[in-house]
Chain A
Amino acid sequence: DSGVTQTPKHLITATGQRVTLRCSPRSGDLSVYWYQQSLDQGLQFLIQYYNGEERAKGNILERFSAQQFPDLHSELNLSSLELGDSALYFCASSPQGSLGSDTQYFGPGTRLTVL
């Protein structure tokens, strides 16, 4: 158990809908990262927050947004969902977030299925 929690575990929804994925980092970790993993794309970095502020952005679609709250939990919002958004979404956390050597601890993931 990494100490990172994600809810829900599974999510099934229809095209055009909006969903919110939630992540609670390990106690004491200030950075939260979101990754998308699909069969054809592998694990892709979406966005990183550090202590409430956006720190780095990857290939995140404009339909997706995220935020980190004062209690350091984070939410990833996915809107106008398309079939291609079906994937595993992982949240990870790390103590800091400004060092390339900071180990990331991954949550169990949320499996999103868009029908």
Chain B
Amino acid sequence: SQKIEQNSEALNIQEGKTATLTCNYTNYSPAYLQWYRQDPGRGPVFLLLIRENEKEKRKERLKVTFDTTLKQSLFHITASQPADSATYLCALDSQTGANNLFFGTGTRLTVIP
């Protein structure tokens, strides 16, 4: 079965720096990969989607890359702010013809002022 790993449970960085989060997967070839943000006690919120034929996607201070050879996605937050502190989840499509997602366990990001 597919396995999705996010490189670290927690990441602390200084305000203004770039945060880089990693999502690795095995036994799988997703057509789409999504990133979500989750704040404590709240539901995940969609951030970005990248397709298998796209190398990079940007949205404001966010950037996602997708390397299907390495089976890896990198999620970058540039000029990080304390308000960016949250858990970030990567999610892969199920490739079943439905739209259900398989989620990684998440990386908890803390931006230190």
How far is B34's CA from A111's CA once the two chains are assembled, in angstroms? 25
- Among A42, A90, A100, contact of B93 (Cβ-Cβ < 8 Å): A100
Contacts A98-B99, A101-B49 hold; do A56 and B42 have CB atoms under 8 A apart? Answer: no
Q: With a CB–CB cut-off of 8 A, which chain B residues contact A88? A: 41
Q: Tell whether, in the assembled complex, residue A97 and residue B98 are in contact, meaning their CB atoms are under 8 Å apart.
A: yes
Contact A100–B43 (Cβ < 8 Å): no
Within 76-113 of B, Cβ neighbours of A (below 8 Å) are at 89, 93-106
Is there contact, CB below 8 Å, between A56 and B98?
yes
Main secondary structure of the interface of B (DSSP, over half): loop
Contact B42–A108 (Cβ < 8 Å):
yes
Interface residues of A (CB under 8 A from B): 2, 4, 31, 33, 35, 42-45, 48, 50, 55-56, 58, 88, 90, 92, 94, 96-109, 111
Shortest distance in angstroms between A15's beta carbon and chain B's nearest beta carbon?
Answer: 24
Interface of A is mostly: strand
User: Does B10 interact with chain A (Cβ within 8 Å)?
Assistant: no
A71 to B39, CA, bound (A): 30
Interface contact B103-A99, CB-CB below 8 Å = no
Give every chain B residue within 8 A of A99 (Cβ-Cβ). Answer: 99
Q: How far, in whole Å, are A35 and B43 apart by their CA atoms in the complex? A: 10
In the bound assembly, the distance between CA atoms of A101 and B97 in angstroms comes to: 11
B105 to chain A, nearest CB (A): 4
